[in-house]
């Protein structure tokens, strides 16, 4: 009734139609409809870095072979069916100069067939291709960047190649250029008409926190964003990321939701820095943080135990929960045990009991009340790693 009245002289039915049209238009302007759950896939950087020495190291250098190989593994080893669909190129893919028309071009020696051919192959395997750019004069690795005046041209280039995701880094640009360039790229990607998931590194370059970072704006223009520093292949690095995200969860947690996610960076499971238990911990923590699951490991040689962690179905189901609510740390015990909780659809919840102790396995006792669960009901509990089930009620 109110809506119809506000529409002035129009008959009530028109008033409603107008209200709907306004709502639809607004939704289209803000969302590209992508990444309704956190993106899953593989990203080259942490494991393969800027290794461009294809003569000495043809298996591991940044070349089309690496991406053809990984696409085959994603398609053939059960990853794709579980949702790991994106295969993402990171830095150091391009030639050191743009071509005569000012276009970004791949390094001709390392990507002789070009990015379009790689995208076609990736698509033929039921996967999607991501690429890397940098808003600035150079990428972090020193390759040609996308200055603000090149944003539209580069968006067109990526779309023509058939790219499905863009990570736009922020080395070598000023705060003002970033404030102009990141929203401009969102518009330019939309204008190509190709659905391209947009990953922004903008907040990571501005300290990750308000007032410098506006999470309301970010959620409107980016599908995911890096908030913090780069992950490295160590447990210390994982912990520093978890600590930062937990310390600032009041700001970060509400910013996430379907179509827009905080990105604590890649999964390093399968590499050299984490023990088995630490690998399980990273997987659980990223799952409850509703983080994108972007593996950066060699899928050609991954161990069965690392693969099992990354392919845990229930874990993935939790990460991909349709409500898209990011979890929070709800308990921090003095004796180095922490509890994380993520609300899920169908009145379920995911809990992590996370021991940071370094002495021995620890028996942790808690209560429904302490975890904020009503105790007048029966709970079915399932251990995501062991599969074990049990029922609990107040005793
Ligand atoms: C920055 C990013 C990394 C990676 C490198 C590439 O450090 O944060 O994720 O893309 O650049 O040079």
Would the CB of 90 count as within 6 Å of ligand 1?
Answer: yes
CA pair distance 331, 354, nearest whole angstrom = 10
The rounded Å distance from CA 140 to ligand 1 centre is 6
**Residues 314, 318, 323: CA angle, nearest 5 degrees:** 150
Query: What pLDDT digit, counting tens, does each position of 90-143 carry?
Result: 999 999 999 999 999 999 999 999 999 999 999 999 999 999 999 999 999 999
Question: What's the mean pLDDT when you consider all of the chain?
Answer: 93
Measure Cα distances from 356 to 30, 151, 278, 305, 332 in Å: 40, 44, 10, 22, 11
Would the CB of 48 count as within 6 Å of ligand 1?
Answer: no
Would the CB of 86 count as within 6 Å of ligand 1?
Answer: no
Would the CB of 263 count as within 6 Å of ligand 1?
Answer: no
**Residue with CA closest to ligand 1 atom 4:** 45
Beta-carbon-side half-sphere exposure of residue 357 (alpha carbons within 13 Å): 15
Task: Give residue 152's pLDDT.
Answer: 98
Tell me, yes or no, if 233 is annotated catalytic: no
Atom of ligand 1 nearest to the CA of 132: 10
Inform me whether the pLDDT recorded for 209 exceeds 50: yes
Tell me, yes or no, if 169 is annotated catalytic: yes
Query: Tokens standing for 77?
Result: 């080893």
Catalytic residue among 77, 120, 230, 233: 230
Would the CB of 141 count as within 6 Å of ligand 1?
Answer: yes
**Residue with CA closest to ligand 1 atom 6:** 91
Task: Give residue 8's pLDDT.
Answer: 26
Task: Give residue 15's pLDDT.
Answer: 32
The rounded Å distance from CA 141 to ligand 1 centre is 8
Pick from 82, 87, 86: which is nearest to 67 by CA? 87
Atom of ligand 1 nearest to the CA of 140: 12
Mean pLDDT of 65-72: 99
pTM of the model: 0.92
| Phi and psi torsions of 165, nearest 5° | -150, 140
CA pair distance 148, 26, nearest whole angstrom = 26
**Residue with CA closest to ligand 1 atom 9:** 230
């Amino acid at each position: 009734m109110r809506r119809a009245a506000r529409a002035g002289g129009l008959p009530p039915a028109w008033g409603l139609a107008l209200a709907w049209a306004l709502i639809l238009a607004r939704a289209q302007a803000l969302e590209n409809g992508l990444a309704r759950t956190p993106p899953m896939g593989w990203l080259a950087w942490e494991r393969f870095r800027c290794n461009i020495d294809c003569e000495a190291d043809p298996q591991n250098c940044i070349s089309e072979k690496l991406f053809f190989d990984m696409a085959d593994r994603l398609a053939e080893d059960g990853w794709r069916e579980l949702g790991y669909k994106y295969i993402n190129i990171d830095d150091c893919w391009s030639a050191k100069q743009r071509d005569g028309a000012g276009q970004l071009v791949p390094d001709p020696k390392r990507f002789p067939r070009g990015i379009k051919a790689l995208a076609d192959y990736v698509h033929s395997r039921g996967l999607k291709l991501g690429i890397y750019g940098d808003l600035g004069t150079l990428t972090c690795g020193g390759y040609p960047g996308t200055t603000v005046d090149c944003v539209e041209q580069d968006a067109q280039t990526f779309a023509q190649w058939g790219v499905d995701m863009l990570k736009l880094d922020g080395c070598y640009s000023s705060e003002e250029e970033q404030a102009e360039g990141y929203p401009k790229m969102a518009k330019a990607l939309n204008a190509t008409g190709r659905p391209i998931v947009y990953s922004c590194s903008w907040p990571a370059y501005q300290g990750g926190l308000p007032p410098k970072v506006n999470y309301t704006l970010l959620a409107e223009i980016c599908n995911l964003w890096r908030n913090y520093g780069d992950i490295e292949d160590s447990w210390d690095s994982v912990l520093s990321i978890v600590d930062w995200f937990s310390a600032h969860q009041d700001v970060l947690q509400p910013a996430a939701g379907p179509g827009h996610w905080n990105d604590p960076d890649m999964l390093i499971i399968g590499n050299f820095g984490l023990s088995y238990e630490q690998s399980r911990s990273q997987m659980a923590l990223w799952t409850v943080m509703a983080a994108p699951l972007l593996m950066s490991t060699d899928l050609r040689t991954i161990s069965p135990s690392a693969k099992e962690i990354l392919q845990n179905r229930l874990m993935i189901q939790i990460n991909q929960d349709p409500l898209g609510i990011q979890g929070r740390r709800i308990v921090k015990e003095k004796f180095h045990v922490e509890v994380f909780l993520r609300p899920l659809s169908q009145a379920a919840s995911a809990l992590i009991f996370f021991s940071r102790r370094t002495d021995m396995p620890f028996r942790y006792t808690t209560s429904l009340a302490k975890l904020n669960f009503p105790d007048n009901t029966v709970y079915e509990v399932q251990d995501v790693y062991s599969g074990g089930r049990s029922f609990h009620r107040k005793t």
